[in-house]
A = this chain, B = another copy of it.
């Protein structure tokens, strides 16, 4: 029986740890703030409600070393902006044969995690992979209670390099049959729809978010025809970058059709009739993951790839600077540029080959 470790105890982490426990897998959970797991420690697990009901036994780890020790699969359920730091902290403790799966990786997650492990001196033979999205729709509804609203039927995942994807998914398929192999991480990384819907909408509604504390419907009020017009141009840049890498990324409109069955001729109309968006409120402020996660792990790597592959991404780059202008953060420094993913100065061929095969070809 596979031993699981879950890093993170937010909306996703608590639900997935509880569900694994309920399914009978030995599971340890770790959180950056140990106090957030006090109740789970006390009752010895997580209560589940919603799509899955019951009690899942979960052990709370005392520290990252204990969390990782003996785990066959490490599920990273943290904001992608924390991947770098978590990889650095995991590097000393990972061992041969362990698998690390980022749920999700956003854009460049597996690449960053792998690069930082190597930088941190980790020489263990670890398989690192990423999913395109989190496999559940879930909420942490109490200190040791999670609600699973739905379990997605199909989620793409890939390992780095792609040749190891089968080994990764084979290991976790008893718990996660919905993971389907993507061709490589460029597919999971470039289907990043959050990079389209999150920073741009927050920035084009920045004044309203801050002035009202987010008291409006994020999608329905925030995505007006002009905002949607910009989102379509932003999305076209992402899809063009993907195409330059040989990846057929889904457009935001195709994604709404796939995920919610909504088909309209413009993104504006599609968003307005997406039932799942109807009640979603705006964030209470701009110091939010829509900026601090999605810009550095979404827009920045997409723009950086655009530069490497000669694809212009003016709207993507503009939003990175505007996000910097409102927050004071230099997202080009903080974000996943190819340089920070360990691929500085690489040419297109090297970038593509590395994701597929895991070695660096010499192009002298």
Contacts and interface: CB of A to CB of B under 8 A. Distances in A.
A324 B316 CA distance: 12
A13 interface: no
Contacts of A321: 314-315, 317-318
A240 to B, nearest CB: 15
Mostly, the A contact residues are: helix
A325 interface: yes
Contact of A204 (B207, B216, B223, B230): B207
Contact of A318 (B206, B325, B328): B325
Nearest to A230: B325
Q: Give the number of copies in the complex.
A: 2
A193 interface: no
Which among A201, A320, A325, A327 has the greatest number of chain B C-beta atoms within 10 A?
A325
Given A205-B206, A221-B211, A326-B204, A286 B226 contact: yes
A238 to B, nearest CB: 13
Interface string A199-235: 0010111111011000010000111111101100110
A334 interface: no
Contacts of A322: 204, 230, 315, 318-319, 322
Interface in A281-337: 286, 314-315, 317-322, 324-328
Nearest to A285: B226
Interface of A: 201, 203-208, 210-211, 216, 221-227, 229-230, 233-234, 286, 314-315, 317-322, 324-328
